[in-house]
Amino acid sequence: MAARSIASLSLSFGLVSIPVKVFSATETAGGVGFNLLHNCGSRVKQQYLCIKENIPVERADMVKGYEFEKDRYVMFTPAELKALEEAPRSTIDIVSFIPLSAVDPIYYDKAYYLAPDKRGGKPYGLLLQAMRESGRCALARWAWKGKQYVVQVRAHEEGLILQQLLYAAEVRSMKELDIERAEINKPELQLALQLIDQISEDSYDPAEFEDEEKKRILAAIDDKIAGKQIVVTEGQEAAAGGQVIDLVDALRASLAPRKGAVAKVPPAASPLTAPAAAAKEAVKEAAKERKSAKRATPAAEPVEEAAAPVRSRARK
Taking alpha carbons only, the member of 307, 243, 250 closest to residue 276 is: 250
Give domain 7-27+86-170's CATH number out of 2.40.30.10, 2.40.290.10, 3.30.365.10, 1.10.10.10: 2.40.290.10
Which of these ranges, 91-95, 102-106, 128-132, 294-298, has the smallest mean pLDDT?
Answer: 294-298
pLDDT given for residue 245 in this prediction: 62
Compare 211 and 191 and report the one with higher pLDDT: 191
Q: How many CB atoms lie within 10 A of CB 199?
A: 10
pLDDT band at 309 (very low <50, low <70, confident <90, very high): very low
Given pLDDT bands bounded at 50, 70 and 90, which one contains residue 278?
A: very low
pLDDT tier at 313 (50, 70, 90 boundaries)?
Answer: very low
Instruction: Name the amino acid, one letter, at 222.
Output: D
Mean pLDDT, rounded, of the chain? 79
| Nearest of 5, 170, 21, 3 to residue 92 by alpha carbon | 21
pLDDT tens by residue, 212-250: 888 888 888 888 888 888 777 766 565 555 555 677 777
For residue 240, give the 3-state DSSP assignment: coil
Residue 291 confidence (pLDDT) above 80: no
> Can you say whether the dihedral through the CA atoms of 180, 183, 188, 193 is positive or negative?
positive
Contact 132, 140 (CB under 8 A): no
Is the pLDDT at 263 greater than 50? The verdict is: no
Cβ atoms of residues 128 and 66 within 8 Å: no
Q: What is the pLDDT of residue 136?
A: 96
DSSP SS3 for 190? helix
Gap between the Cα atoms of 316 and 309, Å rounded: 11
Q: Smallest Cα–Cα separation from 33: which of 223, 218, 224, 219?
A: 218
Tell me: pLDDT of 204 over 60. yes
Poorest-pLDDT segment among 109-113, 124-128, 177-181: 177-181
Q: Cβ distance 151 to 63 under 8 Å?
A: no
Q: Tally the C-alpha atoms within 13 A of residue 17's C-alpha that lie toward its C-beta.
A: 8
pLDDT bucket at 257, cuts 50 / 70 / 90? low
Is the confidence at residue 32, as pLDDT, over 70? yes
Q: In this structure, are residues 190 and 255 in contact, taking their beta carbons and an 8 Å threshold?
A: no
Neighbour-count burial for 237-262, b at 16+ CB within 10 Å, e otherwise: eeeeeeeeebbbbebbeebeeeeeee
Nearest to 131 by CA among 238, 18, 252: 18
Residue 284 pLDDT more than 50?
A: yes
169 vs 304, higher pLDDT: 169
φ/ψ region of 217 (left if φ > 0, alpha if ψ in -120 to 50, else beta) reads alpha
192 Cβ neighbours under 8 A, 6+ residues apart: 251
Residues 45-102: tens digit of each pLDDT = 888 999 889 999 998 889 999 999 998 999 998 888 888 887 777 889 999 999 999 9
* Inter-axis angle of helices 186-198 and 247-254, nearest 10: 20
CB 141 within 8 A of CB 167: no
Q: What percent of the chain has pLDDT over 90?
A: 33
Domain locations along the chain: 7-27+86-170
What was the pLDDT predicted at 165? 96
Nearest to 160 by CA among 94, 196, 193, 116: 116
